[in-house]
Structure 1
């Protein structure tokens, strides 16, 4: 019981401390380098942040969000270039967002006007 309580407290504290963000991501957000943050997320294969999540990092305006999206799309293109499959060690069945055959993909450059 005490171990479970300890794990719960640890999880809550990590959530509030932003433990999922690297120092590099924190520095980019602090310096308002939204395009670079988006590029980093795309190149790493991370999911695109929505406006609410970017706002939690300090990007509140539409312009800042569009800068992030432009960087993300560039990074995502670089990430997917030459990839045949996407997988992770934890979940080898991770969805392959880089497949060209996905017509409903949210990462298509043409559908977004880029």
Structure 2
């Protein structure tokens, strides 16, 4: 019984934390803060959104995607440089993305939107 309660508590906590970041991302997209959204995704170790994904979130032009991408690259640099801030989480989901050298990135050209 105690184990079930513990599992439920962990699940609810994860959902609430996910809802907070999702709301934050939704607010950035709603306010057309594409560079900030990109920086957030890069700093958190998230995969880069494509131009189509940005369009689904309200971006209307290629310039919105370019703003997002500029922010993402800066955030990813901070992530890979090991910059530790309160909001930065090292994401084990893409451990090879920060390795030096070509060919080690988990991002292909298609994943990058090219």
Same fold (TM over 0.5): yes
1:52 is matched with 52
Distance (whole Å) between structure 2 residues aligned to residue 81 and residue 87 of structure 1: 15
Distance (whole Å) between structure 2 residues aligned to residue 56 and residue 49 of structure 1: 10
CA RMSD of aligned residues (A): 2.5
Provide the TM-score with structure 2 as the length reference: 0.63
Alignment map for 1:16-95 (pairs within 5 Å): 22-82=22-82, 87-88=92-93, 94-95=94-95
Q: Secondary structure of 1:22's partner? A: helix
Distance (whole Å) between structure 2 residues aligned to residue 33 and residue 86 of structure 1: 23
Which has more helix, going by share of residues? Answer: 2
> How much does 1:28 deviate?
0.2
Which structure ranks higher in relative contact order (CA pairs < 8 Å, sequence separation ≥ 6)? 2
2:16 is matched with none
Distance (whole Å) between structure 1 residues aligned to residue 35 and residue 43 of structure 2: 12
Distance (whole Å) between structure 2 residues aligned to residue 72 and residue 63 of structure 1: 14
Distance (whole Å) between structure 2 residues aligned to residue 86 and residue 40 of structure 1: 13
Distance (whole Å) between structure 2 residues aligned to residue 79 and residue 49 of structure 1: 16
Ranges in structure 1 where 5+ consecutive residues have no aligned partner: 1-18, 89-93, 108-114
Distance (whole Å) between structure 2 residues aligned to residue 60 and residue 48 of structure 1: 18
The runs of 4+ residues in structure 1 deviating greater than 4 Å are none
